[in-house]
Amino acid sequence: SPCKPVLLLLSSPAFSTTCATCAKDRRLRQKRAISERRLTRYFVDQRKVRVVGGQGGGGGHSFYSEPRKVFGGPDGGNGGDGGHVILKADQQMKSLSSVFPFYQGFHGERGGSKNCSGANGAHTYVKVPVGTLVKEDGKVVADLTQHGEEYIAAYGGAGGKGNRFFLSNENRAPMLFTPGEPGQERVLHLELKTTAHAGLVGFPNAGKSSLLRAISRAKPAVAAYPFTTLNPHVGIVHYQDYEQVAVADIPGLIRGAHQNRGLGVAFLKHIERCRFLLYVVDLSVPQPWVQLQDLKHELEAYSKGLSERPCVVVGNKIDLAQSRINLPLLREQVVERVIALSALTGENLEELLLHLRELYDTHVKTEQSQGQSPVKW
């Protein structure tokens, strides 16, 4: 009857396979984007880890027997080796927050009959960020500076021997078999030093985070109070020939930072990885060249020779009237090249990007001439 399709339509379920509106409602909801501030809240650059290798499997103990061949001799196989615990550098990892305090390798299987050896235990891989230092008892045992680089943190134990292994002319029916050895156990201290080509060094509120926002896609927090940046941020500057230069925003330093004042030594160590430095000074303050002198003093007091790396002085906030007055005075007081710009308005950012590329190209040529491979992003 003509009413029958109407009845079927009324009795159909709420979600129709042919209804476009309902199909949209069934789409998978996208995950909520986590803000940059919440992501950096869990930044961890130190971690104490206990690693234990997997235990080796015990040796097998059996004798071959079948009809009309009762005394077939020993046929117990060897046990499998335990798995290692391996630290592997991964450039996708940016913090040690996902590293657990304990890892253990998988155990090897026990040897079986018929001379079957036990399977080896699988290795346990722990992903760590590039630039992770591995220390044991205060001594550096590994430095993972390249993507994919591995370090065996704990070796797995060797598998035991089955009774077939002890067969000899003197002993035709050995009863002896050995258990698997325990895995290596160590307590390691992981320390992350941010690996970047350039480091933004300056006092609080000098405009480092604003400058990183202007030249890259990084989104560090910006506010009008000191110590807005509490964790290092790395931004990538892209060039037309597909080269990428990593720039790290180091939290603001103060006088006495090498004595652990302010944020202290916790973030001075991140500057050690930078190949060249960008000193960011506030041109609007009286005598901005004093900032540069204090910054170099703090770097040199922390690590000798750190302030002598290739550098450029970035005079920020040139859009202010007082900054234009202090700019010629700053150039008279310092020997290094001074690039005046405004991270807020974007004025003269091109000069900084060109000079940044010159520093990067010089670094690459120097690394290649020494037979080393430069860090690529």
Verify that 229 and 187 share a domain, yes or no: no
CB atoms within 10 A of CB 38: 9
Does 284 fall in a domain? yes
Verify that 337 and 218 share a domain, yes or no: yes
CATH of residue 57 = 2.70.210.12
For 139, list phi and psi in degrees, rounded to 5.
-105, 140
Q: Supply angle C-alpha 165, 168, 174, rounded to 5.
A: 65
Does 10 fall in a domain? no
Verify that 122 and 170 share a domain, yes or no: yes
Tokens 């379920």 locate to 13
Residue that finishes a domain, picked among 193, 226, 258: 193
Does 260 fall in a domain? yes
Total domains in the chain come to 2
Q: With a cut of 50, list the residues of the chain below it in pLDDT.
A: 1-42, 223-228, 256-264
Residue in 241, 186, 227, 251 with CA at minimum distance from that of residue 50: 186
pLDDT digits 0-9 by tens, 210-261: 888 888 876 665 544 444 455 677 788 888 888 888 888 877 565 544 444 4
| Maximum Cα–Cα distance across the chain | 107
Verify that 156 and 204 share a domain, yes or no: no
Are the C-beta atoms of residues 315 and 337 closer than 8 Å to each other? no
Verify that 229 and 160 share a domain, yes or no: no
How high is the pLDDT of residue 126?
95
pLDDT digits 0-9 by tens, 143-191: 898 889 999 999 999 999 998 998 888 888 888 899 999 999 999 999 8
Does 17 fall in a domain? no
How high is the pLDDT of residue 29?
46
Does 174 fall in a domain? yes
Verify that 240 and 173 share a domain, yes or no: no
Does 152 fall in a domain? yes
Taking the C-alpha atoms of residue 131 and residue 302, their distance in angstroms, rounded to an integer, is: 19
Verify that 74 and 207 share a domain, yes or no: no
Are the C-beta atoms of residues 296 and 252 closer than 8 Å to each other? no
Verify that 251 and 107 share a domain, yes or no: no
How high is the pLDDT of residue 4?
44
Residue that finishes a domain, picked among 193, 227, 250: 193
Residue that finishes a domain, picked among 135, 162, 193: 193
Verify that 51 and 165 share a domain, yes or no: yes
Verify that 151 and 279 share a domain, yes or no: no
Verify that 296 and 313 share a domain, yes or no: yes
Q: Which amino acid is at 252?
A: G
Distances (CA, A) of 319 to 63, 64, 316, 341, 355: 89, 90, 8, 8, 21
CB atoms within 10 A of CB 371: 6
Taking the C-alpha atoms of residue 157 and residue 181, their distance in angstroms, rounded to an integer, is: 5
How high is the pLDDT of residue 25?
45
Q: State which residues form the domain around 333.
A: 198-368
Verify that 166 and 215 share a domain, yes or no: no
Taking the C-alpha atoms of residue 336 and residue 311, their distance in angstroms, rounded to an integer, is: 8
How high is the pLDDT of residue 226?
46
Does 4 fall in a domain? no
Query: In the 3-class helix/strand/coil scheme, how is 272-306 assigned residue by residue?
Result: HHCCEEEEEEECCCCCCHHHHHHHHHHHHHHCCCH
CATH of residue 348 = 3.40.50.300
Does 376 fall in a domain? no
Taking the C-alpha atoms of residue 215 and residue 46, their distance in angstroms, rounded to an integer, is: 29
Q: What is the pTM of this model?
A: 0.65
